[in-house]
Amino acid sequence: MFMNAKEMVEGLSQNPELHDARVLEAMGRVRREAFVPAQLRKMAYADRALPLEHDATISQPYVVAFMTTAACVSRGSRVLEVGTGSGYQAAVLAEMGVEVFSVEYVEELARKAFSRLEELGYGNVRVRHSDGRQGWVEEAPFDSIMVTAASEDIPPPLVEQLREGGRLVIPIGNDSQLLKVFVKTPRGLEPEAQVPVRFVPLRRVPDRG
């Protein structure tokens, strides 16, 4: 069992595809134990996903590292995250100096994640309670968009709200899922990479019209 973030990151750094030192350094600075339920704290630095309330899960550290690397963010980037959950992914981005806009459909999760992030000093994260399939149009365009729940399709508003040259990282599928990475070009989305993953579903929220 890993004891702290530094040891967790040392383990992750053995994977050649996790080649971005800035990502691993950021993950080494985030106290993951502050984002997992109290009774699971002793597993906070194991490389595994852990259950949260409301059927959400905090993603496996490997997957967080992979997605963050694939999103190609840098200091000052504006990033949309769909599925705030615990706020852990948002904290990793914030540690990298990213301006984070995170959307969560479950109101209680959004509220708790926001106050947790605020307490931990992550002032560069904004959290909104709304349907992430619609993106966050008032804050668009984004330099990268990361979806942390599995979707059957690519929600069109997310493509519209991504700047040209920006990356969309999104798990696609139901029972078997592929994490897909696209770059937006003048011709549309072009695939860059894909790996098998396991996420909770991105809910289709009925239009309240």
Catalytic residue annotation: 59
Neighbours of 74 (CB within 10 A): 11
With contacts defined by CB under 6 A, name the span among 14-22, 93-101, 156-164, 195-203 that binds ligand SAH: 195-203
* Start-to-end CA span in the chain (Å): 49
94 phi and psi angles, rounded to 5 deg: -60, -40
| Min separation Cβ 109 and ligand SAH, Å | 5
Q: Does the protein bind ligand SAH through residue 203 (CB under 6 A)?
A: yes
Structure tokens at 51: 């259950």
Stretch of 85-93, 158-166, 171-179, 184-192 lying at the interface with ligand SAH (CB under 6 A): 85-93
Q: Which of 69, 77, 86, 177 binds ligand SAH (CB under 6 A)?
A: 86
Minimum CB distance to ligand SAH smaller for 94 or for 189: 94
Confirm or reject binding of residue 109 to ligand SAH (CB under 6 A): yes
Q: Strands of the chain (E only): list them.
A: 50-51, 57-58, 78-82, 99-104, 125-129, 142-147, 162-173, 177-185, 188-197
Minimum distance, C-beta of residue 117 to ligand SAH, in the bound complex (Å): 11
Structure tokens at 180: 């897909």
Distance CA 20, CA 84 (A): 23
Among residues 65, 80, 106, 169, which is the contact residue for ligand SAH, using CB under 6 A?
Answer: 106
Verify cis geometry, omega within 30 degrees of 0, for the bond prior to 141: yes
Output the smallest distance, CB 201 to ligand SAH, in A: 7
Footprint (CB under 6 A) of ligand SAH, residues 113-172? 131-133, 148-149
Contacting residue, 103, 169, 181, 197, with ligand SAH by CB under 6 A: 103
Does residue 205 belong to the site contacting ligand SAH (CB under 6 A)? yes
Which one of residues 2, 62, 66, 105 is an interface residue with ligand SAH (CB under 6 A)? Answer: 105
Pairing of strands 188-197, 50-51: unpaired
Asked if residue 56 binds ligand SAH (CB under 6 A), the reply is: yes
By the rule CB under 6 A, 82 interacts with ligand SAH? yes
* Residue with token string 């069992």: 1
How many Å is the maximal CA-CA distance in the chain? 49
